[in-house]
Amino acid sequence: MKNFTNVHDIGPLDAAVREALEIKKDRFAFTGLGRNKTLLMIFFNSSLRTRLSTQKAAMNLGMNVIVLDVNQGAWKLETERGVIMDGDKAEHLLEAIPVMGCYADIIGVRSFAGLRDKAEDYEERVISQFIKYSGRPVFSMEAATRHPLQSFADLITIEEFKTKERPKVVMTWAPHPKALPQAVPNSFAEWMNATDYEFVITHPEGYELDPAFVGGAKVEYDQKKALEGADFVYAKNWSAFADPNYGKVLSTDRAWTVDAEKMALTDNAFFMHCLPVRRNMIVTDDVIESERSIVIPEAANREISAQVVIKRLLESL
């Protein structure tokens, strides 16, 4: 694997899940693979899980790890070409990226959507430039339109907890006070569409996702109907994708909050969320604290998905 930004990069999912479960049984089986190799993790945005789980995964493989929070301590970076740099940005991404490449064998990048310019976000301008100019294998730690390490961990989690061959997985929009990217729902849809699960997406009118990610998934605007018989409920907020409302919050309607009454419509479903989650906006305290909530094992699997990805990148150095 040369880079990892989407579901296609990982190849057949059954093999990827098998490899993940093998690694989970013995996460120190490949400690020699990363010896004297350096992972550089670049964060343009905040993180708890991605930062810790990815560093842990790299350490399990024997790597050295450097973490850079671009907005804390580095020079402010210009990302547009052709700009006269007479403002507050001291360095251009076009120098910064190849320099970073000098100090690393593999680079992980977190760069969220700006949610102002849809074309810029959906072109994946930042991570594409890392791939083009760093000279190193690059993996996404959540880019503008996808969060593939999260979706891979979600898939591993569903495979571990499912009791039916073909579970019904429902991704539901839920309210949140601030505008969030579409990366997590886009990516989750992309990965679920690559399985043979029954996959349903539910959201209020106006929150339609990019059809390229929705694919053949069923879209049901009635949340209660969508949840009927679900085996997994995957809650997530996202801002509007469709023009002219790209990146906007159209609703904070708490009628969409996942509560016990909604979970009662399911087939005793497991509750999932990528975290961080705002309680009593996205999900009520009792649901996230219930024995059917698997948000912690889901987060734990971030170490495993990252380890499969970094292992494969190391193997093709």
Binding site for ligand CP (CB under 6 A): 47-50, 142, 150, 274-276
Query: Among 131, 201, 235, 274, which residue sits at the site for ligand AN0 (rule: CB under 6 A)?
Result: 274
Instruction: Report the residue number, 229 or 276, with the smaller CB distance to ligand AN0.
Output: 276
Instruction: Report the residue number, 58 or 180, with the smaller CB distance to ligand AN0.
Output: 180
Query: CA angle, corner 134, sides to 128 and 140, nearest 5?
Result: 45
Instruction: Report the residue number, 140 or 293, with the smaller CB distance to ligand AN0.
Output: 140
Residue of minimal Cβ distance to ligand CP = 50
The partner in contact with residue 252, picked from ligand CP, ligand AN0, none with C-beta cut-offs of 5 to 8 angstroms by kind, is none
Say which residue the tokens 């930004």 belong to: 5
Instruction: Report the residue number, 42 or 314, with the smaller CB distance to ligand AN0.
Output: 42
The partner in contact with residue 48, picked from ligand CP, ligand AN0, none with C-beta cut-offs of 5 to 8 angstroms by kind, is ligand CP
Provide the mask over 119-148, with x wherever binding to ligand AN0 is found by CB under 6 A and - wherever it is not.
Answer: -----------------------x------
Provide the mask over 162-191, with x wherever binding to ligand AN0 is found by CB under 6 A and - wherever it is not.
Answer: ------------------xx-xx-------
Binding of residue 235 to ligand AN0 (CB under 6 A): no
The partner in contact with residue 180, picked from ligand CP, ligand AN0, none with C-beta cut-offs of 5 to 8 angstroms by kind, is ligand AN0
Query: Among 276, 285, 296, 317, which residue sits at the site for ligand AN0 (rule: CB under 6 A)?
Result: 276
Rounded to a whole number of angstroms, the minimum distance from the CB of residue 246 to ligand CP is 22
Residues found in the chain? 317
The partner in contact with residue 183, picked from ligand AN0, ligand CP, none with C-beta cut-offs of 5 to 8 angstroms by kind, is ligand AN0
